[in-house]
């Protein structure tokens, strides 16, 4: 916990406030163009600054970087502690990226109270960035709540016909969770007894399993509602359907990630034992979410609602991967957060674009759009394919890693989740077919304009990223490597330390440190106790207990980082 001397993070987080200040001086009615320009410029500069963050980021280190540590409320030990590691870096990038697009997307969509709208948007960005960068629990909570209000306003003021209902539902659900989290934070503060809310101080806390459980639960509700994990998801479709396009985009792309990020940043490292004991429950909930979201999405008539339920399904994957607690699972879920942000965000953008033209989102009102708006259809196609996880596009990489991870943790979960992949294709294709294919049946669709340059400009960067991640995911995986490795290793150590009987540490005198490393890195699950799985059981356990040369060699080969390509000339 040191101050790196750089204020880059502070600048990034609070730059939008400067934009707000500028906007305050503009006349809301007469200078709409200038207002939009200022908002766009602010977010754009912010995005460029985060790019700087990316290039300067040291991918080899698992430590927090760009740290800033200043006292804030000294009497309570609250500090202004910022910093990012591989886990938050991608999400920070995603945030600034999607906010630019969201501002662009509201260019013509929002015509009333533009000034207030943009101010809410920029404040939202402050909240989101702050929450991703905060390393002080109190600070995190402040930013966490800060996001809530602009979003509430975005839905409640600029939303659809049932906006007030949706906004209040959104607010109450999230609030209910975050209050519990506050209780948890305060509890931790007193337990730590160091007069500090600092994450790193609290991390050093050794909690009993029982305490961990209760604290985990307190945090769980806040994050699970935000994600949303299965039974807490009903606010999501309403909020999405009623929110303005940009609101849905931000909501789907970033706010939901707050929940998953929270699990990864706080719940798992702080309460590993509770996480372990809760993992089956959460995995099952995630699974239910995957299948349930997909099934419900299938029968939706409103495109936006369909996309909203598909979010439930996709975030189920994220949760499943995370609670597999191994490299592939966690890294995949991290990548999938970004993927979901991109593809679902883009889907909402696309739905918004068509809504702006036709003022309807019912699937039955469309059909045969390809003929009329081919560019729109092409973008839609690519995004849809990315959403259903076609290899070569981003969704596949994330889903694949998650499933590989989940498969190692529990085969049954992975099998069931894979069914979700099939269902994902079903509802998306079906919707796509009904909207895009066929002949034009509704005359209102005949005069439809194709995308204009601004809209193409919005979607193109997303498509580029979608393909980029799909073809060369290393760009995005590598920065997360070290941090995820540490996270998984920390978790494994905690679990191993607490329950030596489930450990597979070699008793045969093999190098213990080496074994620990392997355990930490590969995240090999303990051998299953179920007899039917014994014969299929991961050979890792055998490899470690018997020091037989061939498997040993294999393992070594596996664990050399970046030993992907086989030695040449093997014929």
Partner 1 sequence: MLDLAWLMLALPLLGVFLNLFVTGRMSERGIGWLASAVVGLALLVAVGAFLALLKLPPQQRHIELNVYTWIASGSLSAGFGLLVDQLSIIMALVVTGVGFIIHVYSIGYMHGDPGFRRYFVYLNLFIFSMLILVLANNFLLLFVGWEGVGLCSYLLIGFWYERKSAADAGKKAFIVNRVGDFGFLLAIFLIFALFGSLDFTTVFSKAPQLVQSGVVSGAAITAITLLLFVGATGKSAQLPLYVWLPDAMEGPTPVSALIHAATMVTAGVYMVVRTSALFALAPLSLTVVAGIGLATAFFAATMGLVQTDIKRVLAYSTVSQLGYMFLACGVGAFTAAIFHLMTHAFFKSLLFLGSGSVIHALGGEQDLRRMGGLFSKLRTTGITFWIGALAIAGIFPFAGFFSKDEILWETLQESLFLWAVAAFTAFLTALYMFRLIYLTFHGPSRVSAERAAHIHESPKVMTRPLVVLAVLSILGGFVGLPLIQGGNLFKSFLEPVLARAPLAHGAAAAEAGHAAIGFELFMMIVSLAIAVAGLVMARRFFLQRPELAQRAAEVNAWLYRLLCGKYFVDEAYDLLVVRPVKQLGTILWRGFDVLVIDGIANGAADLIRGASGALRRLQTGYVKSYAVTMVLGAMLLVLYFVMR
* Nearer Cβ to partner 1 (145/302): 302
Q: Which residues of 361-399 are buried (b: 16+ CB within 10 A; e: fewer)?
A: bebebbbbbbebbeebbebbebbbbbbbbeeebbbbbbb
Query: How far apart are alpha carbons 40 and 37 in whole angstroms?
Result: 5
Binding mask 332-361 toward partner 1 (x if CB under 8 A, else -) reads x-----------------------------
Distance CA 42, CA 407 (A): 44
397 binds partner 1 (CB under 8 A): yes
Residues 115/28, Cβ–Cβ less than 8 Å: yes
User: Going residue by residue from 258 to 277, which x/- string records binding to partner 1, judged by CB under 8 A?
Assistant: --------------------
Of residues 439-478, which lie at the interface with partner 1 (CB under 8 A)?
Answer: 439, 471-474, 477
Residues 6+ apart with CB under 8 A from 139: 72, 78, 79, 80, 81, 82, 130, 197
Q: For 564, list phi and psi in degrees, rounded to 5.
A: -60, -65
Element (H, E) at 553: helix 549-559
Q: How far is the CB of 408 from partner 1 (least distance, A)?
A: 6
**Rounded to the nearest 10 degrees, how much is the dihedral formed by the CA atoms of 140, 146, 147, 152?**
150
> Is residue 485 a contact partner of residue 521, using CB atoms and an 8 Å limit?
yes
Stretch that binds partner 1, among 49-57, 60-68, 493-501, 549-557 (CB under 8 A): 549-557
Contact positions with partner 1 (CB under 8 A) in 103-142: none
State yes or no: residue 283 binds partner 1 (CB under 8 A): no
Residue 45 C-beta: closest distance to partner 1, Å: 30
> Quick one: which of 52, 194, 446, 558 contacts partner 1 (CB under 8 A)?
558
Distance in angstroms (rounded) separating the CA atoms of residues 307 and 294: 10
Residue 1, SS3 per DSSP? coil
Distance CA 428, CA 391 (A): 16
Residues 183-242 close enough to bind partner 1 by CB under 8 A: 231, 233-234
Burial (CB count <10 Å: 0-12, 13-18, 19+), residue 61 = middle
Site for partner 1 in 484-503 (CB under 8 A): 485
Q: Which residues contact 546 (CB under 8 A, 6 or more apart)?
A: 508
Q: Which is nearer to partner 1, 250 or 477 (CB)?
A: 477
Minimal distance in Å, beta carbon 194 to partner 1? 34
The residue count for binding partner 1 (CB under 8 A) is 79
CA 226, 227, 232, 236 torsion-angle sign: positive
CB of 262 to partner 1, least distance (A): 22
Which residue number, 275 or 384, has a Cβ lying nearer to partner 1? Answer: 384
Among positions 163-182, residues that touch partner 1 (CB under 8 A) are 169, 173
The CB-of-571 to partner 1 minimum distance in angstroms stands at 4
Among positions 405-444, residues that touch partner 1 (CB under 8 A) are 407-408, 411, 414-415, 418-419, 421-423, 425-426, 429-430, 433, 436-439
Of 385, 451, 482, 504, the residue at the interface with partner 1 (CB under 8 A) is: 385
Single residue of 444, 507, 539, 547 touching partner 1 by CB under 8 A: 539
**In angstroms, what CA-CA distances link 485 with 87, 232, 395, 482, 528?**
11, 30, 22, 5, 23
Q: Which is nearer to partner 1, 39 or 417 (CB)?
A: 417
CA distances from 115 to 16, 20, 106, 250 (A): 14, 9, 12, 18
Q: Which of residues 349 and 384 has its CB atom nearest to partner 1 in the complex?
A: 384
Q: State which of residues 126, 222, 297, 324 lies at the interface with partner 1 (CB under 8 A).
A: 297
Q: Whose Cβ is closer to partner 1: residue 259's or residue 470's?
A: 470
């Amino acid at each position: 916990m040191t101050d790196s001397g750089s204020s880059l993070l502070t600048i990034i987080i609070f730059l939008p406030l400067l934009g707000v200040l500028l906007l305050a001086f503009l006349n809301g009615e007469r200078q709409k163009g200038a207002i939009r320009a200022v908002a766009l410029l602010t977010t754009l500069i912010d995005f460029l600054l985060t790019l700087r963050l990316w290039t300067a980021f040291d991918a080899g280190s698992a430590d927090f970087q760009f740290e800033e540590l200043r006292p804030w409320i000294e009497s309570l030990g609250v500090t202004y502690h910022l910093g990012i590691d591989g886990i938050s870096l991608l999400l920070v990038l995603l945030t600034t990226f999607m906010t630019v697009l969201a501002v662009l997307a509201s260019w013509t969509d929002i015509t009333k109270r533009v000034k207030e709208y943009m101010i809410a948007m920029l404040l939202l960005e402050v909240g989101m960035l702050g929450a991703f960068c905060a390393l002080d629990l109190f600070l995190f909570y402040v930013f966490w709540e800060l996001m809530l209000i602009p979003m509430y306003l975005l839905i409640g003021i600029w939303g659809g016909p049932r906006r007030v209902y949706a906004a209040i539902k959104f607010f109450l659900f999230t609030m209910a969770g975050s209050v519990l989290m506050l209780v948890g934070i305060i509890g931790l503060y007193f337990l730590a007894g160091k007069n500090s809310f600092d994450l790193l101080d609290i991390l050093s806390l050794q909690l009993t399993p029982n305490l961990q459980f209760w604290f985990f639960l307190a945090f769980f509700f806040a994050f699970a509602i935000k994600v949303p994990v299965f039974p807490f998801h009903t606010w999501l479709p309403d909020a999405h359907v009623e929110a303005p396009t940009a609101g849905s985009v931000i909501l789907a792309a970033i706010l939901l990630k707050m929940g998953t990020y929270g699990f990864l940043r706080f719940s798992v490292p702080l309460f590993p034992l509770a996480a372990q004991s809760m993992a089956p429950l959460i995995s099952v909930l995630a699974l239910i979410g995957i299948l349930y979201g997909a099934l419900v999405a299938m029968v939706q008539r409103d495109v936006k609602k369909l996309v909203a339920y598909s979010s439930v399904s996709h975030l189920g994957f994220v949760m499943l991967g995370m609670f597999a607690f191994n490299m592939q699972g966690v890294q995949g879920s991290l990548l999938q957060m970004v993927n979901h942000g991109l593809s679902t965000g883009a889907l909402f953008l696309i739905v918004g674009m068509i809504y702006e033209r036709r003022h309807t989102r019912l699937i039955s009102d469309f059909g045969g759009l390809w003929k009329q708006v081919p560019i729109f259809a092409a973008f839609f196609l690519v995004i849809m394919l990315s959403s259903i996880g076609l290899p070569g596009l981003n969704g596949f990489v994330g889903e694949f890693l998650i499933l590989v991870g989940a498969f190692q943790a529990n085969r049954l979960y992975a099998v069931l989740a894979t069914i979700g992949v099939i269902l994902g294709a079903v509802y998306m294709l079906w919707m796509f077919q009904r909207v895009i294919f066929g002949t034009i049946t509704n005359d209102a669709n005949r005069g439809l304009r194709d995308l204009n340059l601004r809209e193409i400009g919005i979607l193109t960067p997303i498509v580029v990223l979608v393909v980029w991640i799909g073809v060369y995911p290393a760009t995005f995986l590598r920065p997360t490597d070290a941090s995820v490795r540490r996270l998984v290793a920390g978790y494994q150590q905690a679990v191993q330390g607490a329950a030596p009987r489930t450990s597979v540490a070699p008793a045969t005198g093999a190098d213990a440190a080496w074994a620990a490393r392997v355990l930490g890195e590969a995240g090999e699950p303990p051998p299953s106790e179920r007899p039917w799985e014994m014969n299929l059981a991961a050979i890792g356990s055998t490899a470690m207990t018997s020091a037989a040369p061939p498997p040993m060699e294999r393992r070594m080969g596996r664990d050399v980082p970046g030993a992907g390509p086989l030695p040449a000339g093997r014929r």
